[in-house]
Amino acid sequence: MLSRGKELQRHSLIIVVSILILSIGILFTGCVAEELTEAPDLIYLTEDFPPFNYEEEGELKGIGVELLQEAYQEMGFPLSDENIRIGFFSEGYQLTLTTPGYAFFSAARTPEREDLFLWAGPIGSYEIVLFSRRGSDITIHTHHDLNQYLIGAVEDDVSVGELLRAGVDGSRIITDPDPVNLIWMLDSDEIDLFASGDVAGEYLIAKATGKHGYFNQVYQLADVELFYIFHRETPKHHVEMFQAAIQALKETPDEDGVTRYDHIFRRYIPSTGLAALTYMTEEYYPYNYQAAGQKMGISIEILEEVFSDRNTDLSRDHILFSTWEEGYKKTLSAPGYVLFSTARTPEREEQFLWAGPIIRSRNVLFMRSGAGEVMNGDILSLSIGVITDDVAAEDLLELGVWNITYATSAEELIHALDDGKIDAWAYAEYPGMNLIAQYALDPEAITIAYPLNTHEYFFAFNKETPLPLVQAFQQALDRIRSEKDTHGISRYERILYRYLTPEYADEVLTPEDAIALVSLTADAIGRDAPATIRAINTGIHPYQDADKPGLYVFAYNTDVIMVAHADNIHLVGESFKGKTDVAGKAFRDEIVAGALENGSGWVDYIYINPAESGLFWKSTYYQRATGSDGKDYVVCSGIFKTE
């Protein structure tokens, strides 16, 4: 048993210890409170690597940028734009490695890097791929094939480590801090392959060359996850709080069940972002219409190809039909909506974001038979019906017509024309004839009386649609138009040929134009074939005429392999022996055979036109030429026929 003195001593000791613990606790609590309300003064460095981080018109964008901003907001900290800076990967990586107060994104997490930094994330993932020049014939089956090539990679990038891990000798890896230098090294045959991200690489290549798909993706090297990295001396509690904020963004859904992270992701990843949009259209034969319960038409089939190309889970069943007025006003005012097929005009240019073109269509005036020939001056005296918000109204106003009757449906205006309540109806030619056949009392009694303007039709996106989604949509359209199948025909050509006959072009090109361009190119190939072929493939003037884009040059070798194409880089390196146009004519074989037998000549066929959307009658001049490398080439340029 303790004595009273010792017991008092014990109580005193307990009190002292308790006070000490309480004091320490108060002190500690004060420190935590201070740390929770004041963020360290960190500089975040990043690089041009979309869709995770990039600069557009002076503004930093991307998944990593927005996630960083949202995480700081979640923590209750301000984050100045001045604290996020963009530059080369190697500079940002090395500065974060060596200097306190710096962080970097987006960086791949690897065993070699694990202990060099503090980590938070992941931000997302991507594939490291290898790009080759088109026509290089490089085929890679396994990692073991890589050592025979010189491979370019960004200095300090994860691709360097992945190449070494794959067994590539270090002497076969060429590094540079600037990816653009590596792109030009690949184009000039100084290296064989370029290692980069699948999406980022395509972006950087297009930014450097001006052409999407300029190089081929020939091999998938590795999948990696991206993180934020912090200098080792960064306060760990800040990194932990930052990580907790990211987790909250990923795990806390809104009232629609979508997390803030998913909202960010949708703005940049086409497979999810495009699937979240609502696509609206109208009855507008043959571009978009319904028949026997099926949604059909040129634009609908093209849109479905975009859905497939971008790996969305959508089909034509997700397309909504409405009146033109309803769809136009909805897309104009509500984020998340897309309207097609929409004529792109100067008056509408700033109202939407655009992807296309899909096809062109001519507006006309429909009138009752017997009304007589309409001259320019007569139009001003006519009472003309137009669907509300239709582009035909702009055509009429441009001509000075003010006596315009508006309605929400074509049926209403056709009945008004039948009853003599209006003198004419302004509408697109083919859709108008189709609707007249449906609704007119006597379709034969209504004819085309006067041509108005021809317009290119597009997909119109609400102005607030994230630009990366619209760009991804456009890239898919370009592939649908440009890439040829095993028969030598693009998906775009097949779709158009199911609905339309080939037409004549508006742009006037002469046989002399084509002959002069072929002669100029043949001379250049004779002086320096490799340099000329590279110049053709970049599409620079004169190989694609800057003022007449329908005039361009292309070249085959004697085996009917495309070696250069000023308008469509996707064709370079492909064999077209035995392949045809959309009507089944093996025109490429005829061109090469004619050049080998006769030296020069002309071949007619059906083809798409870079200057005007649609299928056109084309006539191409060809000439055999010997290059400075001693090889024989068949140099070609064509004209699209006019009436």
* 180 pLDDT higher than 90: yes
Residue 38 has what pLDDT? 72
* Burial classification of residue 520, based on how many CB atoms lie within 10 Å of its CB (0-12 exposed, 13-18 middle, 19 or more buried): middle
User: What sections of 274-420 are H helices per DSSP?
Assistant: 298-309, 324-333, 376-379, 391-399, 410-418
Confidence of residue 23 (pLDDT cuts 50, 70, 90): very low
May I ask the CATH architecture of the domain 43-123+228-270? Answer: 3-Layer(aba) Sandwich (3.40)
Higher pLDDT, 2 or 180: 180
Express each pLDDT in 147-175 by its tens digit.
999 999 999 999 999 999 999 999 999 99
**Phi and psi dihedrals of 107, rounded to 5?**
-120, 140
Confidence of residue 3 (pLDDT cuts 50, 70, 90): very low
The first and second tokens of residue 86, run together, are: 């963009």
Express each pLDDT in 500-556 by its tens digit.
999 999 999 999 999 999 999 999 999 999 999 999 999 999 999 999 999 999 999
pTM of the model: 0.87
Residue 375 has what pLDDT? 67
Q: Which residues contact 83 (CB under 8 A, 6 or more apart)?
A: 42, 43, 44
- Dist CA 198 CA 167 (whole Å): 21
Express each pLDDT in 62-78 by its tens digit.
999 999 999 999 999 99
% of the chain with per-residue pLDDT over 70: 93
Closest CA to 539 of 562, 569, 574: 569
- Dist CA 480 CA 461 (whole Å): 19
Residue 37 has what pLDDT? 58
The average confidence (pLDDT) of the chain is 93
Higher pLDDT, 371 or 636: 636
* 30 pLDDT higher than 60: no
* 137 pLDDT higher than 90: no
* 2 pLDDT higher than 80: no
Express each pLDDT in 376-407 by its tens digit.
568 999 999 999 999 999 999 999 999 999 99
* 19 pLDDT higher than 60: no
Express each pLDDT in 274-303 by its tens digit.
999 999 999 999 999 999 999 999 999 999
Query: Domains of the chain: which residue ranges?
Result: 1-33, 43-123+228-270, 126-224, 511-640
Does this chain's domain 43-123+228-270 share its CATH topology with 126-224? Answer: yes
Confidence of residue 643 (pLDDT cuts 50, 70, 90): confident
Residue 1 has what pLDDT? 32
The first and second tokens of residue 322, run together, are: 């409405």
* Burial classification of residue 136, based on how many CB atoms lie within 10 Å of its CB (0-12 exposed, 13-18 middle, 19 or more buried): middle
Q: Lowest-confidence range among 93-97, 192-196, 379-383?
A: 379-383
Fold of the 511-640 domain: Beta-Lactamase (3.30.450)
Residue 41 has what pLDDT? 87
Residue 28 has what pLDDT? 36
Q: What is the mean pLDDT of residues 180-190?
A: 97
126-224 has which CATH code? 3.40.190.10
